[in-house]
Structure 1
Amino acid sequence: MDIRPLRIDGAFEITPRQFPDDRGVFAEGFRVDHLAEALGHEMQVRQTNISVSSGGALRGIHFADVPPSQAKYVTATGGVFVDYVVDLRVGSPTFGEWDSVVLDTVDRRAVYLSEGLGHALACIEDGTAVYLCSEVFNPTGERGITPLDPRIALKLPEGFEPILSPKDAAAPTLDEAEAAGVLPTLEACLAHTRSLAGERR
């Protein structure tokens, strides 16, 4: 499996090696040891989420308070998605910037994003995405930024008509969230990552 760093520090694109034969295809979707080589610590999976979306659905930008936040490992088991990783860490050199990866059942790529990064998912074709999460869902620590924030300016697929949940539509902009003091800091995220590396050696 090939693990490639994205432009946002702490995020990776994972492309598995596929083994087709006359029965179908086999691939390793997740390898904790290979991922740990890139991260410096093992990802502990404490929850899995299954997200079924219609074409046009735009989910995010979601993030969680640090600590503990949630690292995520996301892949598609059906359909086609564009996965966006957004740097929401105050003090980061790429603060407010993003990178993206197409998730589908052809290349079967996955995206890993570390704690403190923002995540959005645009569904191009009806499909299902599976999330492996490092922490269980904590509603009191979950937060969001509007995915239509012009400062962040996510590049949506051509002709894409976004369908947002009421919660995502009402989410603050990056500037509003920063002014409210709800964004994670780069310092807090790095300290949390160091603590994980120390705990899981």
Structure 2
Amino acid sequence: MQVQETKLKGCFIIEPQIFKDNRGYFFESFNEQKFEAATGHNGHFVQDNQSASSYGVIRGLHLQKGEHAQAKLVRVLEGKVLDVAVDLRPGSPTYGEWVAVELSAENNRQLYVPRGFGHGFSVLSETAVFAYKCDNGYNKEAEGGVQYNDPTLKIDWQIPAGKEVISEKDALLRPFSEFNPE
């Protein structure tokens, strides 16, 4: 596998080695020992999640706070998304900065999103199936987030205005200027 750290310390793009032949392909989507050696992060995950969405859906920007914070290893099983990680770690030199990576069933890329980061994605294909590995269990009381269309962050989700599909819950998220990491 190839691992490239993004401009945000601890946030990695991971590209597996893919073996193709006339039958199709094979790749190792996760190996704890190799992951830890390549990233320096604990590769022990305790929860897997999966979502299905249609074109224009934007999910995010979400995170779990405090002792329930989660690191995520994310990938696309079907379709194509623009995956976004925002550094929301107080005191970080890249606080408020973000990276966007195209993840698809075709490129098989993964993104490792460390604890303390906001995370979201937009669906660029007709449909997409998205998989998350999380290193800590979900806790409703620890939910946090930032508006997907925050004017300070200026994230280009690559979805034309008026075509965004946003949940009620995500529409109520506060702007970055009001984000409280506690």
TM-score bin (small chain): over 0.9
Deviations 1:107-151 (A, max 9, x none): 100000111111011111111010000011111101111110010
Matched residue type, 1:97: E
User: What is the match of residue 29 of structure 2?
Assistant: 29
Instruction: Measure the CA separation in 2 of the matches of 1:41 and 1:79.
Output: 28
The DSSP-based 3-state class of the residue aligned with 1:67 is: helix
Map of 1:105 onto structure 2: 105
Question: Which one has a larger percent helix, Structure 1 or Structure 2?
Answer: 1
Find the aligned partners of 2:41 and 2:51 in 1 and give their Cα distance.
27
Identity of aligned residues (%): 33
* 1:149-164 equivalent positions in 2, closer than 5 A: 149-157=150-158, 159=160, 161-164=163-166
Which residue pairs with 1:189 in the alignment? none
Deviation of 1:44 (Å):
1.4
- Per-residue CA distance 1:47-98 (angstroms, 9 max, x = gap): 1001101110000000111324001000000000010010111221111110
Match of 2:137 in 1: 136
Instruction: Please give the alpha-carbon distance, in whole angstroms, between the structure 1 residues aligned to 2:158 and 2:41.
Output: 34
Structure 1: state its 5+ residue gaps.
Answer: 185-201
Query: What residue is the counterpart of 1:194 in the other structure?
Result: none
- TM-score calculated relative to the size of structure 1: 0.85
CA distance in 2, matches of 1:159, 1:113: 26
User: What value does the CA root-mean-square deviation take over the aligned residues?
Assistant: 1.3
Which residue matches 1:174?
A: 176
Asked if 1 retains the 8 angstrom alpha-carbon contact of 2:60 and 2:145, the reply is yes
Consecutive unaligned residues of structure 2, counting only runs of 5 or more, are none
Name the SS of the counterpart of 2:76 in structure 1. Answer: strand
